[in-house]
């Protein structure tokens, strides 16, 4: 083990992977548990930096950011939904990790969280890589709250429900999803007054950038009513 890996193990928090379950064609549901998950300061919408390959043959310290799908302070568990579309190191880690494995992490952190719990309406937009994040945000809002949504998935087999088995967000199944279609779809859901709505956009960088531009220029949404967080380029 390299010096960097050994140092990382000393400064990072550690948990044990207790469950690894494929929940969609390209997504694994991972559950961590352990005493380092006690007294974690967590706000729904925050993320975790996960470090892996610490003892791997390449001895390369790798870090990827994942949204916390759910944190349970009593059970000392934390859940993630990790996608494999990328086929990169993070995807391979999710495919290969097994119950009993150690996982090293830092966090929670991040600011892609709900700012105002009292807006007139909310609009949650993204793709499958941001789905668990959007579910965590949706759970913060009352059931009766006016919430518009659209999650881009290439196939139905890529869609998965929230942890309670429900599907509280709308999906668009398509190869490509231009920003114009995203906004046409939420308009069709009944979003008429964009100026009194808070928008949260996560996922592909192009989706975040283009949707944000359209909302600012065509829908006159002010910058402080809009949060866009690219999850991948």
Ligand X SMILES: Cc1cc2nc3c(=O)[nH]c(=O)nc-3n(C[C@H](O)[C@H](O)[C@H](O)COP(=O)(O)OP(=O)(O)OC[C@H]3O[C@@H](n4cnc5c(N)ncnc54)[C@H](O)[C@@H]3O)c2cc1C
Q: Does 89 bind ligand X (CB under 6 A)?
A: yes
Task: Report the candidate in 135, 175, 136, 185 with the shortest Cα–Cα distance to residue 154.
Answer: 175
Among candidate residues 107, 139, 117, the one with its CA nearest the CA of residue 41: 107
Please identify, among the stretches 5-13, 84-92, 151-159, 213-221, the one whose residues bind ligand X according to the rule CB under 6 A: 84-92
For position 83 contacting ligand X by CB under 6 A, the verdict is yes
Tell me which residue of 189, 133, 132, 178 sits closest to 152, measured CA to CA. Answer: 178
Residue 232 sits in the site that holds ligand X (CB under 6 A): yes
- Tokens coding 117: 């719990």
- The answer to the question of residue 31 lying near ligand X (CB under 6 A) is no
What gap in Å lies between CA 177 and CA 181, rounded to an integer?
A: 6
Answer yes or no whether residue 2 interacts with ligand X by CB under 6 A: no
**Min separation Cβ 195 and ligand X, Å:** 27
What is the residue whose two structure tokens read 């044990």?
16
Among 43, 86, 145, 146, binds ligand X (CB under 6 A): 86
Cβ neighbors of 163 (< 8 A, separation 6 or more) are: 69, 70, 79, 135
85 forms part of the interface with ligand X (CB under 6 A) = yes
Our finding on whether 227 is near ligand X (CB under 6 A) is no
Q: How far is the CB of 193 from ligand X (least distance, A)?
A: 29
Residues of this chain that bind ligand X (CB under 6 A): 47, 64-67, 80-83, 85-86, 88-91, 110, 112, 129, 132-133, 229, 231-233
């Amino acid at each position: 083990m390299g010096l960097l890996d050994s140092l990382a193990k000393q400064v990072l928090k550690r948990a044990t992977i207790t469950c690894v379950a494929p929940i969609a064609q390209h997504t694994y549901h991972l559950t961590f548990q352990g005493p380092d998950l006690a007294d974690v300061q967590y706000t729904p919408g925050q993320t975790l930096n996960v470090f892996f390959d610490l003892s791997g043959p390449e001895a390369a310290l790798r870090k990827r950011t994942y949204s916390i799908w759910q944190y349970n302070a009593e059970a000392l568990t934390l859940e993630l939904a990790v996608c494999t579309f990328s086929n990169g190191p993070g995807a391979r880690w999710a495919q290969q990790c097994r119950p009993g494995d150690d996982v090293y992490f830092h966090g929670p952190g991040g600011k892609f969280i709900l700012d105002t719990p009292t807006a007139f309406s909310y609009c949650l937009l993204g793709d499958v890589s941001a789905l668990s994040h959007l579910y965590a945000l949706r759970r913060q809002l009352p059931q009766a709250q006016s919430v518009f949504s659209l999650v881009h998935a290439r196939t139905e087999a890529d869609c998965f429900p929230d942890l309670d088995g429900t599907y509280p967000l709308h999906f668009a199944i398509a190869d490509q999803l231009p920003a114009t279609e995203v906004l046409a779809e939420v308009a069709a859901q009944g979003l008429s007054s964009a100026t009194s709505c808070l928008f949260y956009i996560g996922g592909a960088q192009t989706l975040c950038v283009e949707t944000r531009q359209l909302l600012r220029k065509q829908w006159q949404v002010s910058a402080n009513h809009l949060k866009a967080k690219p999850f991948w380029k």
